[in-house]
C-alpha cells in the first residue's frame, strides 16, 4: 500500500472519484467532480466502512481486493444508506459472501428494502462497540444528518471518526487523499455549497451530532465525500458548527430575475449603493444564469438577502420563485431581507415576494422598490431607503 492510500497504518482508502456525473442527486452541478469515499480497516478482523456509487462498483471492488491483499472481509459498516454510498452493498456481499453487515435498525431495514438483503447482519445501537482486534469501532447515532438512519463510527485507538456525509464536500480527489497531501483551497467554498444544498435544512440535528462528539480527541475525520481531514480539523469542525447555527459573514446577496434587463439595472444600482456604504462582500446573481446551488451557498455565507423580480404571468418570475421555494425548505432563521421589482401594466411580483417573506417569518426591512416599464433613476430614493434599512438590520 502507498503511504497516501494507507493514510494511517492499517487504515486504507478504497474510494473512487466520479469525474463524469454532471449533477449530484440530479440537481447540483459538479464542475470539479465528486469522490465516493470508503475505508478499509485491517486488523485481526477487517472492516469496510461504506461503499460507493453503483456506476463505479467494478472499480470499487478492485480497490477492495487490492487493499485486502488476500484477507477475508469480515464486516461492512454502513453509516449511511443514500445510494451514492450504499449502491455497491449487494456486489460486496456477492464478492464476499462471508461478510457481516453492521448498522442500526433503520439502516438495516433500508438494506432489505433497497437490496433485498436481511441475513448475516449485526444491529448496533447508540454507544455499542465492535472489536476488530487491536482496534475497535464505537457507534453513535446521528439521525437527520441528513437521513434518519445516519450514524458515525469512531476508532478510539486511532482517534479517527468516520463521519458519513458530515464534513464532506463536492470535488474529486486529485491524487492526495488527506488534506496534508494537497492544496485544499478549492474545497472550502464547495463544502459550504455541499452543506447548504444537501444538509442545510438540518441545522439542529447537526448541532446534536456535534455535541455527541464534543471533547472527543480526533486525529482525523474521514467523510464520504472530499478529503480526509487531518491538519485542518479545527477549521472543518468550526465551519460545520457555524453553518449549522446559521452564522453568517457580513455581506449581501442580491438575487434577481430579469427578462429584458430592467430589473437587472435595479440590481446593479443596489449593488453599487451597498458598495458605496462600505459593504465589501456582495454576491450578485442573475437567476437565469446562476445555478441555485451557488446562490444558496452565498445565502448561507452572507448576512442579508435582497431579491428582485419582474412581474411574470401575474406573479413572480419562475427562477426567482424557485429560489424562494428552496430557501423556504431549508428552515433558515430570519435574515435582513428586502425586495424590488418591475412591471409593465400590473405590478404583483414585489408584493408576492414580500408575502413570501412574511410566510417564512422574515420581516421585510423596507417597502419594496418597484418601477413601471423602463428602469427609472427617479427610484433612486427608494433604493437608498432600501439599502439603509438593510444595513440597519445588519448591525
- Mean pLDDT computed over 283-298: 98
Q: pLDDT-derived band of residue 378, with 50, 70 and 90 as boundaries?
A: confident
Q: Is the pLDDT of residue 4 over 80?
A: no
> CATH for 250-394, among 3.90.400.10, 1.10.3720.10, 3.40.50.360, 3.40.1180.10?
3.40.50.360
Residue 134, CA atoms < 13 Å, CB-side half-sphere: 8
Q: Is the pLDDT of residue 381 over 80?
A: no
Q: Is the pLDDT of residue 1 over 60?
A: no
Work out the burial of residue 195: count CB atoms within 10 Å of its CB; fewer than 13 is exposed, 13-18 middle, 19 or more buried: buried
Average pLDDT taken over every residue of the chain: 95
Tens digits of residue pLDDT in 151-190: 999 999 999 999 999 999 999 999 999 999 999 999 999 9
Query: For residue 120, how many other CB atoms are within 10 A of its CB?
Result: 12
Q: pLDDT-derived band of residue 369, with 50, 70 and 90 as boundaries?
A: confident
Q: Cα 185 vs. chain centroid, distance in angstroms?
A: 17
**Distance between CA atoms of 179 and 176, rounded to whole angstroms?**
7
Write down the domain spans for the chain: 11-244, 250-394
pLDDT > 90 in the chain, percent: 91
Q: pLDDT-derived band of residue 375, with 50, 70 and 90 as boundaries?
A: confident
Q: Which residues on adjacent β-strands are paired with residue 121?
A: 101
- Nearest-CA neighbor of 64 among 82, 83, 50, 54? 50
CATH architecture, range 11-244: 4-Layer Sandwich (3.60)
The answer to whether 160 and 154 have CB atoms below 8 angstroms apart is: yes
The model's pTM:
0.93
Task: Output the CA angle 117-123-125, nearest 5 degrees.
Answer: 145
Tens digits of residue pLDDT in 318-347: 999 999 999 999 989 999 999 999 888 888
Amino acid at each position: 500500500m502507498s503511504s497516501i492510500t494507507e493514510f494511517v497504518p492499517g487504515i486504507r482508502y478504497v474510494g473512487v472519484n466520479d469525474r463524469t456525473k454532471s449533477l449530484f442527486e440530479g440537481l447540483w452541478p459538479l464542475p470539479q467532480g465528486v469522490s465516493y469515499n470508503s475505508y478499509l480497516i485491517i486488523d485481526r478482523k477487517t472492516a469496510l466502512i461504506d461503499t460507493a456509487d453503483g456506476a463505479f462498483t467494478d472499480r470499487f471492488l478492485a480497490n477492495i481486493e487490492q487493499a485486502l491483499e488476500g484477507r477475508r472481509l469480515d464486516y461492512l459498516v454502513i453509516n449511511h444508506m443514500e445510494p451514492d454510498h450504499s449502491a455497491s452493498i449487494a456486489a460486496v456481499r456477492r464478492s464476499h459472501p462471508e461478510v457481516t453487515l453492521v448498522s442500526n435498525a433503520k439502516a438495516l431495514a433500508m438494506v432489505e428494502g433497497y437490496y433485498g438483503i436481511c441475513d448475516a447482519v449485526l444491529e448496533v445501537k447508540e454507544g455499542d462497540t465492535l472489536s476488530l482486534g487491536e482496534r475497535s469501532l464505537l457507534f453513535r447515532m446521528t439521525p437527520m444528518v441528513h437521513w434518519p438512519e445516519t450514524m458515525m463510527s469512531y476508532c478510539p485507538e486511532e482517534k479517527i471518526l468516520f463521519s458519513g456525509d458530515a464534513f464532506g464536500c463536492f470535488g474529486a480527489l486529485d491524487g492526495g487523499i488527506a488534506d496534508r497531501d494537497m492544496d485544499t483551497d478549492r474545497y472550502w467554498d464547495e463544502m459550504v455549497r455541499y452543506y447548504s444544498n444537501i444538509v442545510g435544512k438540518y441545522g439542529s440535528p447537526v448541532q446534536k451530532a456535534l455535541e455527541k462528539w464534543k471533547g472527543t480527541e480526533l486525529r482525523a475525520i474521514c467523510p464520504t465525500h472530499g478529503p480526509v481531514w487531518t491538519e485542518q480539523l479545527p477549521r472543518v469542525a468550526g465551519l460545520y458548527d457555524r453553518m449549522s447555527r446559521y452564522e453568517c459573514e457580513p455581506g449581501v446577496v442580491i438575487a434577481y430575475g430579469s427578462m429584458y434587463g430592467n430589473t437587472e439595472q435595479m440590481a446593479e444600482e443596489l449593488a453599487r449603493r451597498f458598495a458605496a456604504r462600505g459593504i465589501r462582500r456582495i454576491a450578485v446573481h442573475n437567476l437565469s444564469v446562476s445555478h441555485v446551488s451557488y446562490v444558496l451557498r452565498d445565502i448561507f455565507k452572507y448576512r442579508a438577502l435582497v431579491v428582485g423580480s419582474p412581474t411574470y404571468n401575474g406573479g413572480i418570475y419562475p427562477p426567482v420563485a424557485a429560489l424562494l421555494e428552496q430557501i423556504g425548505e431549508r428552515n433558515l432563521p430570519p435574515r435582513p431581507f428586502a425586495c424590488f421589482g418591475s412591471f409593465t401594466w400590473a405590478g404583483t411580483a414585489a408584493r408576492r415576494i414580500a408575502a413570501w417573506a412574511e410566510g417564512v417569518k422574515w420581516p421585510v426591512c423596507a417597502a419594496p422598490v418597484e418601477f413601471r416599464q423602463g428602469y427609472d433613476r427617479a427610484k433612486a430614493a427608494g433604493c437608498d431607503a432600501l439599502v439603509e434599512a438593510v444595513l440597519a438590520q445588519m448591525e
